Structures are given as C-alpha cells and as structure tokens.
Structure 1
Amino acid sequence: MTKLTFPEIRCGVVVLTSALLGAQAQAQSLTVSSWVPPTHFVHTDFLVPFAQQVAEVTEGRVTLNILPAPLGGPAQHWELARNGIADITWGNFTYEPERFIPMWFAEFPNAGIKAEAQSVALWRAYEEFLSDNPVFAGVKMLGLGLFGGGQLHHGARAITTPAEITNQKFRMGGPIQERMLTALGAVPVAAPATRAYEMLESGVIDGSLHPVESVMNFRLEGVLTHHTIFPNGFYDATFFVAMNEARWNRLSEADRTAIEGIIGETLSAAWGRNFDVQHPLAVERLTAAGNSFVDASDELIGTVNAIYDDMVADWIVAAQSAGVADPQALLSFYNTTYASLAGE
C-alpha cells in the first residue's frame, strides 16, 4: 500500500478546501420580503413555487428565503428592494402614485378582467415603452401583474346607480380610484387593503374597492356583503416583483441566465393565472355565504366611461412629463395586446 507523503496530503487538503470554498462562493440565498400572511395565495401559490423554480433552474446554487414577517409596510416594498434591504420584494405601484405615473394607464377602468392576459400585456408594454424610464432604476424587474379587475363592494346595500354612490365612504388605494370616486360623488378614504376590515368594523368607511378575490382572502365577507360588478373592471392595480439590481448583478452569469428563463413574461403570466383561479372561487364562496352580486347599471357604466375619457386625457400630459415619449401609443399597445390575449 502506497503511503502519501505530507506534501501530497497537504496538497490534497488544499484542493478539497478550494473546491468547498468555491461551492460556498457560488451558493446564494436571497431574502424575500412579503407583506401578506403565509396563508395568502400570493405566498403559497406564487412565491413558494417561484422559489422552488429558482432553486431548480440554478441546481440549488440560488435559493430564496421568504422572510416570516415583512421588513416594512406594503408601500415600502419598492424601496426595500431598490436599497437592498431585501433582495426581492413584491408590491403595488398604486401605493406610490406620484412616483409611478407611467403605470397609471393599466389602472384605469376597463383594463380587463382576465388577469393572465392583463399581466402579460403589461409586461410586454413595459418592455416596449418603459424599461428604460428612470423611475424603474435600481431594480431588476422580475415580473409585473394586474389582478383581473377591481370592483365596488359595500357593507350594507347594493350599489347599481350613480345616485346610490353619493356620499358613501369607500376605502381606496390610489389616485385613479380616488378620482373616480370623487367624480361619482363618493368620499374616498386612502388606506391599504390590509386595513379594510378594521375600518369597516369601526364605521370609518361604508365600502371598499377590491378585486373579488380580496374580499375572500382578506376575510372581508362578513363586513362587505354587497358586490357591484363592472363587466370590464371598475379599476385595477399594477404590481411588481423586483430584485435589487446590484444583488442581481452579483449572481453568476450562468445563474442569471437560468433565472431569466422563469421571470419576465413567464412570471407575469403565473401571477395572473393565480388571480384567474381565485376570482371564481371567491364568487362561489361569497354566494354560498349569502352575499349578493349585482351588475352595474348601464347608467353607472356610462358615467364611469365618461370619467375614464377625462382621466386618459389628463394622464397623457402627466405621463409625458414623467418621461413617457408616446403615452397614447403605450395605452393602445396595452389594450390591443390584452384584447388579443384575452380572445376579445
């Protein structure tokens, strides 16, 4: 049996140690801050599968650590990613309205009710018109999404006509919703969706704006019992999944390439598919709980459409000031792409 000399042993140890250090250097654990509870479908059906996909495509070299509690409130999650406090976050552009004027076009009435088609259309519009806008600097955009049409919900009675909205206090999340409610004679009250229950319970508001799924998933079915449905959505909200750009650049080229295959349009579509599953499920459960659904009247839809026309005209001016070269082309591109994807 051949004996190894000390230099040979030392050389072998150095080689093994170098290999282990190299493997450790390649391994990356990325922190993810999420502001919904771990029982929410965005966590269980979107973030967890995404984390599994990242680990799979990078052969375990990159893993996502979804934190048990958020590192800030919903409105802070863009900055958490941009500043690198968290590596990856998701959130709602609506919570920083004056900052993200370029995204308003997708939050207008009639933006659609098929979330997967909406989300893919939004991603394509972003790539075509917005990816180099300075407002998005500092992050690697992983995905974008919409939620399939927000609707009007009330705690005491059905709302079908403009007259029935007058003086009613509604929670809302952004300037698009605020302008619509004000123009309809309602009283808008700004607050994130996570505060809706306590505000309804305390009588601060009479109703709240949500997609139908949120009434179920934020457990509002007992305090929001009447649901007014607009055929193409009363409003929408734009969402992001973003990663700190410097952290992204520190990943190996091989891992960045692997992850590119599961983000962008692919991740945006996955976002939308989850909402498309949740909406009909929510309608079924809310109906079984005794809640009522009514269609908005032609009068109410016509009033909202007139408000929409004014909003678009004003947004075009604001978007140009915010660095969008051709806002009308952006809006038309989104609408055409959505209609094509939705089969309309």
Structure 2
Amino acid sequence: MRQYLAAIVVGIAITFLSMPSSAVARTRLIVNCFWPPQHFVCTKVLPGWIEEVERVTEGRVTANIPPKSVSPPPEQLASVEKNLVDAAVQFNGLIGNRVSGALTGMQPFSGSRDSLAMTQAAWETNRKFYPDEFGTVELLAQWVITPGDLYSGTDTPIVTLEDFRSRKMWALPGPLANIAKEIGAGVVATPAVRSNEVIANGVVDSHLGLNGDGLKAFQVLPYTRSMTRFSRPVYSTSFSFFVNKDKWAEISPEDQQAIRGVSQDKVGMVAAGLWDSVSREVLAGFGDLGIVELTGDPDLEAALVSAAEPTTAAWKAKAAEAGIDGEAALAFYRERVADLSK
C-alpha cells in the first residue's frame, strides 16, 4: 500500500513539474487606459507591452485593459496606489505636487521636435538623478510627447510680440497659461479635452499648446489658420507608466527583471514614436487645409523665454526640496536631447 501511495505522489509531482510554468504561477494585471478606447495608447502601446510581458515571462504574467477608464486622468496614480487597477499611465503635469524630477522634460524651451530623443533623454535623466522618486509604485517607463505650438484662428498670423499681446488665446493650464499671461495675452486655460468647446465656439482667436495629435483628437483643425514656430519648441509634456507595489511583489525577481528590460522600449519609446508619427501626418495635411506655417520674430521668442524663467526657477526650488539637483538634471536632459535629436 505504501509503495502504491508513494507511486501516486511521485506521479503527481512529475505531472506538476512537467506543467507549463504559466500554469504553476500566474499574475494577472489590470492595466488602465484613460484615453478614449480608440486612441493608440489603448490600442497599440499598452496592448503591445502586455504581449511583450507575456512573452518574456513565458505567460507567468498576463494582463488586460478594461473597456473604459476606471478613473479620470488626474487620478491614475491614486487608482494604482488604492488597488483599483494594477497599472496605469499618469500625465506628470497633474502630479506636480507629488513629484519633481518627472517634470524635467516639461521645462519650457528644453526639448526638441524629436519625441524619441526627448524620451530617451528623460529616461536617462530619471535613472541618473531620481530613480526612486516614485516611491509608492514601481515606475516602468516614461516618455515625452511631440511639443505643442502656437496657432492663430484668424487670417492674421501671430508673428510679432504685438500680435501675441493682442490675442485672446486658449492655453494649457500651468506653464503655458502663465507664460501667455506674463507677456500680456488674454488667456482661457482649460484641460486639453475641453479645448474644442473654447476654440470652436469662438471664445478665443488663437491657441497655444496642442501638437498634431491634439489638433486631430480635439477636432480644432477647422478653426486653425496658421501655425507659428520658434527656434526651440516652447513646451512639451511627459507621462509615467507604473505598477502597483503589492502586485509587483507577486512577480518573481527574474520576471521583474525581464519586464523592466522591455518596458521603456515597448511603452516609452513606442508611445513617443506614435505621437511623432501622428503629428507629422497631421502637419503634412496643412497645405490641403490652407493652414500656413510661419516663424515667430526673435523678439517674440525672447519674450516667451523670459516669461518662462519663473516657471523653471520655481521647479528647481521644489526639486531641491525633494533632494533633486534640478540644475544638473535639467542641464543633463537638455544636453542629451541635443545630442540625440535628429
């Protein structure tokens, strides 16, 4: 009898050991996407990361994306911390009270028109200067998107400082709205998702801060007549992608390492590339839409740079309070952007 039972135990053990590793230990992540379901972050970026994670962990870690966002955009970090979802993307501008280093790539006149270069530079800056800033979650990737520009909704473009001061414009809240006010423009500041109602209804005659993807997504191209650019982009925005700490702890160290090894490439760099691709496509159609591209006068650019200085000074002070050398981090970021940009 004992031999019989022993044989059964051995047989069960052999069967268990021969089972695929995915059947032995499996972690499923709920990955939130706050963009509309048809946006490429929800259809390409995050699904591509999930596929890669399942590949490198041999199925031990899987994931799914809910059909609609579990929480509004400002609450992505909080939703992960509260275990409402296991992973999410956060617009860093909405958590400036929580993090400082993540805003390095959002400092005015610090980027280029190459999102891949800015994203690579931002990640290198994070690893070098503040790798542990996101202490409540496991940070896996960051990226910086195509810069926004200055647009006129009338047949008169905005080229000079006087042109700028004469306008009532929509601007993204925060640095861009502050810069525009400092120079003397009338400003209506709302989140990007509400830009259409302000621009389309004629509340303003110009807008500042949308890139090609934003122009398309928020349907403001019909109300845009010209675009003004400067030698350096005025401003760009950045995002962070992270996983809940407790959920991350369920994953083996080997699989954690494998996931870290693919996340920045499969999330950060892919997202940056897609933003640039969509923006290029939209800008390529300007001619057919009768939208003119111009270059701003040096005096206007100088005024914008000067008006941006308080924003960066305040950021450096807050970074210092968090133990981050903002001066060195920003200098490193700008140098890497210049080196990496096409």
Flag whether TM exceeds 0.5 (same fold).
Answer: yes
In the TM superposition, 1:31-70 aligns within 5 A as: 31-70=30-69
CA contact (8 A) 1:151 1:211 kept: yes
Say whether 1:192 aligns with 2:191. Answer: yes
Instruction: After superposing the two structures, state which structure 1 stretch, 301-310 or 253-262, moved more.
Output: 301-310
- Of residues 143, 146, 149, the one that matches 2:147 is 149
- TM-score between the two structures when normalised by the length of structure 2: 0.87
In the TM superposition, 1:173-192 aligns within 5 A as: 173-192=172-191
Partner residue in 2 for 1:333: 332
Identical-pair percentage = 23
CA deviation map 1:232-279 (0-9, x unaligned): 212111211111122112112222121121023664333322223222
Name the CA distance, whole Å, in 2 between partners of 1:323 and 1:189.
35
Partner residue in 1 for 2:82: 83
Q: How far apart are residue 63 of structure 1 and its match?
A: 1.9
Distance 1:107 1:14, change over 3 A: closer
Q: How far apart are residue 292 of structure 1 and its match?
A: 2.6
Name the CA distance, whole Å, in 2 between partners of 1:29 and 1:265.
21
CA deviation map 1:110-142 (0-9, x unaligned): 222110010111111111112233xx2211111
Partner residue in 2 for 1:302: 302
- TM-score between the two structures when normalised by the length of structure 1: 0.87
CA contact (8 A) 1:170 1:207 kept: yes
Q: Unaligned 5+ residue runs, structure 1?
A: none
Name the CA distance, whole Å, in 1 between partners of 2:317 and 2:13.
65
Q: How far apart are residue 62 of structure 1 and its match?
A: 1.6
Name the CA distance, whole Å, in 2 between partners of 1:254 and 1:322.
31
SS in 1 for 2:228: strand
Q: How far apart are residue 164 of structure 1 and its match?
A: 2.1
Distance 1:13 1:329, change over 3 A: closer
Name the CA distance, whole Å, in 2 between partners of 1:9 and 1:103.
57
Distance 1:8 1:321, change over 3 A: closer
CA contact (8 A) 1:94 1:237 kept: yes
SS in 2 for 1:240: strand
CA contact (8 A) 1:112 1:232 kept: yes
Instruction: After superposing the two structures, state which structure 1 stretch, 274-283 or 202-211, moved more.
Output: 202-211
Distance 1:167 1:25, change over 3 A: farther
Name the CA distance, whole Å, in 1 between partners of 2:314 and 2:104.
11
Q: How far apart are residue 18 of structure 1 and its match?
A: 8.9
Partner residue in 2 for 1:130: 130
Name the CA distance, whole Å, in 2 between partners of 1:25 and 1:106.
42
Name the CA distance, whole Å, in 2 between partners of 1:220 and 1:274.
20
Q: Which amino acid aligns with 1:122?
A: A
Name the CA distance, whole Å, in 2 between partners of 1:169 and 1:97.
27
Distance 1:59 1:207, change over 3 A: farther
In the TM superposition, 1:244-283 aligns within 5 A as: 244-264=244-264, 267-283=267-283
Q: Unaligned 5+ residue runs, structure 2?
A: none
Q: Which amino acid aligns with 2:28?
A: S
Q: How far apart are residue 88 of structure 1 and its match?
A: 1.1
Instruction: After superposing the two structures, state which structure 1 stretch, 110-119 or 170-179, moved more.
Output: 170-179
Name the CA distance, whole Å, in 2 between partners of 1:21 and 1:269.
32
Name the CA distance, whole Å, in 2 between partners of 1:33 and 1:138.
17
Q: Which amino acid aligns with 1:51?
A: I
Q: Which amino acid aligns with 1:334?
A: Y
Q: Which amino acid aligns with 2:152?
A: H
Distance 1:45 1:294, change over 3 A: farther
CA-atom RMSD in angstroms:
2.8
Q: How far apart are residue 186 of structure 1 and its match?
A: 2.2
Instruction: After superposing the two structures, state which structure 1 stretch, 120-129 or 57-66, moved more.
Output: 57-66
Distance 1:185 1:253, change over 3 A: same
Q: How far apart are residue 9 of structure 1 and its match?
A: 6.2
CA contact (8 A) 2:200 2:220 kept: no
Name the CA distance, whole Å, in 1 between partners of 2:270 and 2:225.
29
Distance 1:171 1:85, change over 3 A: farther
CA contact (8 A) 1:141 1:264 kept: no
Distance 1:43 1:170, change over 3 A: farther
